């Protein structure tokens, strides 16, 4: 039977922390070991608010620590008193084991977290902590899940200077800390684009029914300046830009289950103007050109509706500017049919006239 020195936070919410310390001791006892918890014993005799008595308690605790087989750090936060005990245990060569609050309060299953550390040459230099999202620490039941999250975070970076480095760690182990880094802040820094909008290569194209009759065109673009790919997905209503092919899932990464983690941009064509979507505009126009060609060919007569501002240049250049201006004034969408031609509406004042690249309905 080992003698285990139990260290856990005490100051602050003393009632709550005392109850947690009791559970930590029972956790050690259930493993078949004897325990010593100075913050459960000495406050019964000494006044922690009295500096002399507090120091006497610390000194006696240290004396006992020297005789222990192991220091057990319990909980998700390292207090100043616990840090002093850790430092002494290291000096004495006493093994240190970290146990999370989750393990003590109900589960002994392994728990993993992501430790984020600001890049030394970035805005977050010197900062580090457990990665949090929506102010909640991210914990994972397996290393693989944590590593997928790290991969998704890195893939969302749109510049050559990521804000932080990430590491999957056993939780809490030597990283036990109440320090945090917030994913929202990191994303804001990482998603500031620093690539040239016109520098891209088309790597693949796909068009089809995603289910329920929703036809979508997807174009994979490689960004050489970042050495990564993005996928632009569009139909006649909206566009999404993602860091993974979540629609067709050719890489079998199940990225559709992590949509928020792979989403770079999304917008409805009725909600935004092209000038508002840099640096994605050239790629969106290219993906629209492909999608319109595929859908008008596939649908055999069905028009592709789109606000005139979003028409690709290959279609716009063959259209009548006056008709496009009329559509915009009337708040109407252009109806693009097979061959990239625009169908003229019957209520257009000049609907009886045919123009190259446009078609008058019979």
Q: What is the 3-state secondary structure (H, E, C) of 342-353?
A: EECCCCCCCCCC
Task: Please indicate, yes or no, if residue 20 is contained in any of the structural domains.
Answer: yes
Same domain, 149 and 12: no
- b/e sequence 228-249, b meaning 16+ C-beta within 10 Å: bbbbbbbbbeebbbbbbbbbbe
Q: Show Cβ contacts of residue 270 under 8 Å, excluding neighbours closer than 6 positions.
A: 237, 307
Burial class (CB in 10 A: 0-12, 13-18, 19+), 32: exposed
Q: Are residues 228 and 90 in the same domain?
A: no
Residue 174 within a domain: yes
Given 105, 128, 160, the domain boundary residue is 105
Q: Residue 74: which H helix or E strand, with range?
A: strand 70-74
Do 280 and 137 have their domain in common?
no
Same domain? 126 vs 36: no
Q: Are residues 88 and 132 in the same domain?
A: no
Q: 234 and 335 share a domain?
A: yes
Number of domains in the chain: 3
Q: What is the number of other CB atoms lying within 10 angstroms of the CB of residue 48?
A: 14
Give CA–CA dist 135/295, Å, rounded: 43
Domain co-membership, 168 together with 316:
no
Residue at a domain's end among 81, 105, 129: 105
User: Residue 332 domain-assigned?
Assistant: yes
Quick check: is 139 in a domain?
yes
Residues 284 and 215 in one domain: yes
Q: Could you tell me what percent of the chain has a pLDDT over 90?
A: 63
Instruction: Supply the pLDDT for residue 43.
Output: 84
pLDDT at 30: 85
Determine the pLDDT at residue 104.
86
Average of pLDDT values for 302-328?
A: 91
Mean pLDDT of the chain, nearest integer: 89
Same domain, 88 and 117: no
Give the mean pLDDT of 143-153.
95
Tell me, yes or no, whether 260 lies in a domain. yes
Q: What is the pLDDT of residue 145?
A: 94
Co-location of 90 and 185 in the same domain: no
- Closest by CA to 177, choosing from 88, 94, 93, 100, is 100
- Domain range enclosing 118: 112-190
237 and 338 belong to one structural domain: yes
pTM: 0.71
| pLDDT at position 185 over 90 | yes
Task: Please report, rounded to a whole number, the percentage of residues in the chain having pLDDT higher than 70.
Answer: 93
Mark which of 156, 190, 224 sits at the end of a domain. Answer: 190
Backbone angles phi, psi at 310, to 5 degrees: -95, 0
Confidence bin at 64 (pLDDT 50/70/90): very high
pLDDT of residue 352: 53
Q: Residue 173 pLDDT more than 70?
A: no
Q: Is 195 part of a structural domain of the chain?
A: no
Which positions ≥6 away from 348 have C-beta within 8 Å? 323, 326
| Distance of alpha carbon 60 from the chain centroid | 47
Of 42-46, 47-51, 141-145, 191-195, least confident by mean pLDDT is: 47-51
**Are residues 160 and 205 both part of a single domain?**
no
| pLDDT band, residue 211 (cuts 50/70/90) | confident
Q: Which tokens belong to 55?
A: 């120091």
In degrees and rounded to multiples of 5, residue 197 shows phi and psi of: -60, -30
Is residue 234 assigned to a domain?
Answer: yes
Asked if residue 350 belongs to a domain, the reply is: yes
Counting beta carbons within 10 angstroms of the beta carbon of residue 1, is it exposed (0 to 12), middle (13 to 18) or buried (19 or more)?
exposed
């Amino acid at each position: 039977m080992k003698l285990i020195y139990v260290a856990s936070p005490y100051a602050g919410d003393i009632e709550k922390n005392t109850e947690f310390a009791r559970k930590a001791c029972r956790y050690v006892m259930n493993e078949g070991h004897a325990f010593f918890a100075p913050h459960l014993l000495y406050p019964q005799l000494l006044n922690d608010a009295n500096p002399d008595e507090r120091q006497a308690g610390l000194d006696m605790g240290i004396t006992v620590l020297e005789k222990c087989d192991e220091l057990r750090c319990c909980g998700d936060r390292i207090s100043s008193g616990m840090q002093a005990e850790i430092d002494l245990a290291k000096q004495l060569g006493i093994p240190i084991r970290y146990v999370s609050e989750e393990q003590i309060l109900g589960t002994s299953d392994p728990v993993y977290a992501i430790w984020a550390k600001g890049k030394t040459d970035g805005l977050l230099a010197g900062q580090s902590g457990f990665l949090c999202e929506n102010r909640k620490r991210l914990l994972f039941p397996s290393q693989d899940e944590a590593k997928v999250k790290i991969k998704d975070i890195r893939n969302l970076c749109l510049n050559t200077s990521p804000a932080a480095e990430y590491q999957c760690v056993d939780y809490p182990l030597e990283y036990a800390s109440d320090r945090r880094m917030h994913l929202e802040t990191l994303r804001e820094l990482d998603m500031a684009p620093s690539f040239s909008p016109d520098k891209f290569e088309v790597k693949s194209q796909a068009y089809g029914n995603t289910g329920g009759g929703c036809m979508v065109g997807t174009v994979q673009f490689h960004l050489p300046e970042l050495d990564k790919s993005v996928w632009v997905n569009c139909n006649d209503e909206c566009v999404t830009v993602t860091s993974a092919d979540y629609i067709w899932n050719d890489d079998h990464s199940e990225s559709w289950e992590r949509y928020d983690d792979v989403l770079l941009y999304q917008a409805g064509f009725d909600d935004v103007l092209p000038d508002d979507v840099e640096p994605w505009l050239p790629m969106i126009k290219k993906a629209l050109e492909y999608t319109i060609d595929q859908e008008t060919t596939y649908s055999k007569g069905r028009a592709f509706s789109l606000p005139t501002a979003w028409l690709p240049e290959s279609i716009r250049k063959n259209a009548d500017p006056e008709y496009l201006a009329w559509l915009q004034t009337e708040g109407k969408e252009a109806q693009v049919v097979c061959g990239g031609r625009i169908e003229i509406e019957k209520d257009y004042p000049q609907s009886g006239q045919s123009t190259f690249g446009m078609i008058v309905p019979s």
